[in-house]
């Protein structure tokens, strides 16, 4: 009798614990779950062909991931969402203009851009870091305003000085008056697809351009191997449940891609920009390993508590400046990757929304002001762009007006940032007051 009672009690306790766990999971991932549902609903309402969606999402995720990943390190250092990546984007864009002017094309041109933009963005990052150190606690608004300020300086250089004070003679790039870069810069027959499609100028269009099913099956096999290795490795980092779930998901991907290959469907027409994916994967590994280094650990401690870190002998201001410099370099590379895929850009506008959309994507992936991971960044890019793809057609289906959908997705970007920031600030305030009471 007693034993039976005990089991009942422990069962109900177990039930409560599971319930609590589920509730915790739901509240912690509320934003992500909401956008998952929103994206799915939008997809169903829009009535898009899965093939077109897949094609679009592969392109968008490949071109945008690097930029969003560039936000992670400042979050680690406790500096919040780095809205100043717009400056890095401007630097990248400036180099694209110059390299186009010099006439260097394809992959070498892109590599040259990336090499030359690095010192420039380190310099910009240094200045930004200095500024942020003077406005501690207000880094985000300072970054936002700094981006507006830099827009003015950028326009001064490229609209008023180039061609006049700074000599540059190029009929294609410079306006007919001889002063100022034209409002759009066309990269086709130049740097367009320099990284995505390196064989284009060599007459080998399929070089490093495998089809999507091949890449997915590679991921399926390699991922399963990795999971099994992790499970049997001595550190026991993986629970059995996660192993089974992971293998099931990968198996589904594998079955899907092999099926597509056998059927010979349209999906085989989608080609993956492999070099870009390798660069993104490289950045992911870099961020992961960097966070294990001494400097990475210092950044974490600074992010946890500046004062404790300072007492422990960490040079807080220096660490913060380094975090911004790294983010700035990554952002400039990310924007180069973004624009070489777009193939043309608006000289005075294409960088303006970079901060907004990258931050929104990161937050949609479940990141907060104080915590952001690689997985959240990638998931966020996927969900955010899903919403971007489906909302105009969903708007047309629901209201007979694509404009509604377009306005809606812009609202979502602003709204998700506003809500996340407000929730974070509120939580911080509650913690502070409960600490006072104790």
Partner 1 sequence: MKKFITDSFSSFGLARVIILGFFVFLCVMAVVLRLNISELLTSSLVRIGMWGVLVLAMLPAIVSGIGPNFGVSLGIVCGLVGGLTALEMAFRISHVTEFSGGVLFFIAILISLPFALLTGVSYGWLLNRVKGSEMMIATYVGFSIVSIMKIAWLFLPYASPEMAWPIGRGVRVQISLANRGVTRVLNNFLSFNIGDIVVPTGLFIFFALCCLLMWIFLRSRTGVAMYAAGDNPRFSEAAGINVNRSRIIGTTISTVLGAIGILVYAQSYGFLQLYEGPMFMPFVAVAAILIGGASVRKATITHVIIGTALFLGIQVVAIPVANAFTSDWSSMGEISRKIIQNGVILYALTQAGGD
For partner 1, the binding residues (CB under 8 A) are 131, 134-138, 140-142, 144-146, 148-149, 151-153, 155-156, 159-160, 164, 177-180, 399-401, 403-404, 407-408, 410-411, 414-415, 417-418, 421-422, 424-426, 428-429
Nearer to partner 1, 58 or 159 (CB): 159
Phi, psi of 271 (to 5 degrees): -110, 145
Print the SS3 string covering 210-248. Answer: CEHHHHHHHHHHHHHHHHHHHHHCCCCCCCHHHHHHHHH
How far is 332 from 213, CA to CA, in rounded Å? 31
Angle, alpha carbons 214-215-217 (nearest 5°): 65
Q: Is residue 232 exposed (0-12), middle (13-18) or buried (19+ Cβ within 10 Å)?
A: exposed
What residue has token string 């399929």?
Answer: 206
Nearer to partner 1, 108 or 396 (CB): 396
Other CB atoms within 10 A of residue 43 CB = 18
Minimum distance from CB of 367 to partner 1 (Å)? Answer: 16
Nearer to partner 1, 134 or 371 (CB): 134
290-to-72, 258, 358 alpha-carbon distances in Å:
11, 36, 21
Minimum distance from CB of 315 to partner 1 (Å)? Answer: 16
Minimum distance from CB of 414 to partner 1 (Å)? Answer: 4
**Letter string b/e over residues 238-258, b meaning 16 or more CB atoms within 10 A of that residue's CB:** beeeebeebbeebeebbeebe
Nearer to partner 1, 247 or 404 (CB): 404
Nearer to partner 1, 86 or 331 (CB): 86
Nearer to partner 1, 153 or 308 (CB): 153
Nearer to partner 1, 112 or 159 (CB): 159
Minimum distance from CB of 233 to partner 1 (Å)? Answer: 43
How far is 173 from 340, CA to CA, in rounded Å? 17
Output the six-digit token pair for 435: 């600490």
Strands (E), 193-340: none
Minimum distance from CB of 147 to partner 1 (Å)? Answer: 9
Minimum distance from CB of 73 to partner 1 (Å)? Answer: 20
Output the six-digit token pair for 387: 């919403």
Nearer to partner 1, 342 or 425 (CB): 425
Minimum distance from CB of 350 to partner 1 (Å)? Answer: 17
How far is 328 from 281, CA to CA, in rounded Å? 18
Minimum distance from CB of 284 to partner 1 (Å)? Answer: 28
Nearer to partner 1, 160 or 293 (CB): 160
CA–chain centroid gap for 247, Å, is 26
Nearer to partner 1, 221 or 425 (CB): 425
State the distance between the two ends of the chain, measured CA to CA, in whole angstroms: 44
What DSSP element (H or E) covers 319? helix 316-342
Minimum distance from CB of 429 to partner 1 (Å)? Answer: 6
DSSP bridge pairs for 185: 345
- Do residues 90 and 154 make contact, with C-beta atoms less than 8 angstroms apart? yes
Minimum distance from CB of 283 to partner 1 (Å)? Answer: 27
Nearer to partner 1, 145 or 249 (CB): 145
Output the six-digit token pair for 297: 């650990």
Helices (H), 48-196: 50-69, 72-76, 85-102, 106-134, 139-155
How far is 287 from 278, CA to CA, in rounded Å? 14
Minimum distance from CB of 392 to partner 1 (Å)? Answer: 13
How far is 241 from 107, CA to CA, in rounded Å? 44
What residue has token string 């915790």?
Answer: 24
């Amino acid at each position: 009798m007693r034993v039976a009672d005990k089991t009942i009690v422990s069962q109900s306790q177990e039930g409560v614990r599971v319930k609590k766990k589920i509730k915790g999971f739901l509240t912690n991932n509320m934003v992500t779950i909401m956008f998952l549902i929103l994206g799915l609903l939008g997809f169903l309402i829009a009535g898009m062909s899965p093939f077109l969606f897949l094609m679009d999402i592969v392109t968008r995720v490949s071109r945008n991931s690097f930029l969003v990943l560039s936000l992670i390190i400042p979050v680690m250092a406790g500096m919040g969402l780095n809205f100043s990546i717009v400056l890095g984007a401007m630097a990248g864009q400036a180099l694209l203009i110059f390299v186009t002017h010099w006439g260097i094309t394809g992959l070498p041109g892109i590599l040259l851009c990336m090499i030359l933009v690095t010192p420039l963005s380190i310099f910009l990052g240094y200045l930004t870091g200095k500024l942020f150190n003077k406005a501690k606690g207000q880094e985000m608004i300072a970054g936002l305003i700094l981006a507006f300020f830099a827009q003015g300086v950028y326009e001064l250089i490229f609209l008023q000085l180039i061609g006049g004070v700074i000599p540059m003679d190029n009929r294609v790039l410079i306006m007919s008056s001889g002063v100022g870069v034209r409002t759009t810069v066309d990269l086709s027959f130049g740097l367009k697809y320099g990284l995505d499609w390196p064989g284009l100028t060599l007459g080998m269009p399929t070089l490093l351009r495998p089809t999507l099913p091949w890449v997915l099956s590679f991921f399926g096999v390699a991922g399963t191997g990795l999971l099994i290795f992790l499970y049997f490795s001595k550190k026991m980092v993986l629970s059995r449940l996660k192993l089974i779930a992971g293998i099931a998901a990968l198996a589904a991907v594998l079955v899907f891609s092999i099926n597509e290959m056998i059927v010979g469907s349209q999906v085989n027409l989608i080609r993956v920009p492999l070099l870009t994916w390798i660069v993104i994967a490289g950045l992911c590994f870099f961020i992961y390993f960097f966070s294990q280094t001494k400097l990475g650990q210092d950044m974490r401690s600074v992010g946890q508590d500046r004062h404790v870190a300072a007492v422990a002998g960490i040079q807080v201001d220096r660490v913060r400046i380094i975090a911004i410099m790294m983010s700035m370099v990554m952002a400039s590379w990310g924007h180069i990757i973004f624009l070489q895929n777009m193939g043309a850009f608006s000289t005075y506008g294409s960088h303006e929304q970079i901060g907004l959309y990258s931050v929104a994507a990161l937050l949609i992936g479940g990141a907060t002001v104080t915590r952001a991971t690689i997985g959240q960044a990638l998931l966020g890019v996927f969900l955010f762009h899903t919403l971007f793809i489906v909302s105009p057609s969903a708007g047309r289906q629901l209201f007979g007006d694509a404009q509604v959908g377009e306005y809606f997705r812009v609202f979502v970007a602003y709204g998700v940032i506003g809500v996340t920031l407000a929730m974070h600030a509120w939580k911080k305030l509650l913690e502070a007051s409960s600490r006072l009471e104790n």
